[in-house]
Amino acid sequence: MSWVGLLEGERSWFDAQGLARLCNAEAPQLDAENTSVLATPLPRGSMVVETRVSPYDRPQTLLGITTLTGSGFRLSMQAVPGGGIVLVVHRGGQTCHATVNLDTGGRADLLRITYSWDLTAKTGRLCVEQPGTFRIEQRAVETPTALSLQDVDACINDKDARVVSSDVSFLAFSDRIEPIGPTPSLSLDTPVMTDTGYRPVGALQRGDVVQTSTGALVPVLANVQRTVPAVGNFAPIRLRAPYFGLAQDIVTSSTQRLVIGGSRVEYMFGAENVLLPIGHLLHGTAATKGSDLPLATYCQLLLPDHQAILAAGTFVESLDVGRLRRRRDVLRASLLAAYPRALLPEHSRTAYPVLREFDALTLAAQRAA
């Protein structure tokens, strides 16, 4: 099933049989879950929180949840100065306490926090990361406290049971161990140029070749796919043609970046190419919100080098894994856990400047056909 609950501001979704049913009108209708099943702790699962952290030099409560019935479920999540996250979960007489500290470089940037548990393996982890960077820290949890579907329902639907900071973008629950690290950001139907013409990126496999910004055809090492909550940094954005030379609209997450070059770029920014995060374009006319569904599925191509690929007439970044293979603990918890470590490439850091929102909107207005 994967995702079963999602809270974004005043919007909420919960389905004990999986939120995917809400995205597919033809999904089979299963029998309703009985109370005992709902109250049973999930054998495996994850809670994912996306939030901004206050720059003030004092602890900040991100989440506070208390249910007065059932298992006596309580959950508290705090951010402490310096990038620390403290999580306390109490259920049925068992209490789990976990902390992790991430060096944010002194900036109050967006954080993604993932708490996962596996009762069979009797282990869990608390991870905090900055999306779009390789700043990731995780800590093992020896005796994790699992949540039940009943607990998830209370977190999502019982307004009286929860306190959520205004800095929290979303709160989501899954019945799986959710991966951390590099995340794909292209919709499956995005056309990518290959040696046989444009093909949907979701259909490409290892061994296929794609065209890069240098004009070379390079092999695909892996096609990485993931279904995520369609909110926060994962929210789908529709980039409209003919902006940036697009032959048709494409849908990506806000973290996907375009690689833009040309004489105008060199004149304006003093660089051969620039990186333009698509999320910066929402306040202009080049992009619009992509979907109102609770979930979105993205994919991305792993190439030998971190290169730009031709997609629907413009160039977009391929999956950047940096030096992920040097961090075995993060690699084991990532989407590339099954990829042979010895064969995983190392990607060098790009020298292209990343545009700020104002510059991105200015460039979009000038690049419109």
Q: What is the pLDDT of residue 105?
A: 61
Pairing of strands 60-66, 74-80: antiparallel
How far apart (Å, rounded) are the C-alpha atoms in residues 194 and 175? 37
Mean pLDDT of 98-119: 84
**Nearest residue to 71 (alpha-carbon basis) of 110, 125, 35, 32:** 35
pLDDT range class, residue 31, cuts 50, 70, 90: very low
- Provide the β-strand partners of residue 266: none
pLDDT of 200 above 60: yes
Rounded to 5 degrees, φ, ψ at 25 are -65, -20
Task: Please work out, in degrees rounded to the nearest 5, the angle formed at the alpha carbon of residue 17 by the alpha carbons of 237 and 145.
Answer: 95
284-337 pLDDT, tens per residue? Answer: 889 998 888 999 999 999 999 999 999 999 999 999 999 999 999 999 999 999
| Bridge partner list, 61 | 78
Measured distance CA(354)–CA(276) in Å, rounded: 6
- Percent of residues, the chain, with pLDDT higher than 90: 63
pLDDT band at 36 (very low <50, low <70, confident <90, very high): low
CA atoms within 13 A on the CB side of 7: 23
Give burial (CB, 10 Å; 0-12/13-18/19+) of 276: buried
What is the C-alpha to C-alpha distance for residues 314 and 35, in angstroms, rounded to an integer? 52
Distance CA 131, CA 108 (A): 13
Between vectors from CA 319 to CA 315 and to CA 321, what angle results, nearest 5°?
A: 140
What pLDDT sits at residue 28? 44
Measured at the alpha carbon of residue 324, what is the angle toward residues 321 and 325, in degrees to the nearest 5?
A: 125
| Type of residue numbered 233 | N
Low-confidence winner among 20-24, 176-180, 361-365 (lowest mean pLDDT):
20-24
The alpha carbon torsion through 159, 125, 44, 121 (nearest 10 deg) reads -150
**pLDDT value at 224 more than 80:** yes
Interacting residues of 246 by C-beta distance below 8 A, sequence separation 6+: 239, 240, 312, 313, 314
CB 254 within 8 A of CB 239: no
Mean pLDDT to the nearest integer, 188-193: 97
The per-residue pLDDT for 361 is 86
Strand partners, 300: 224
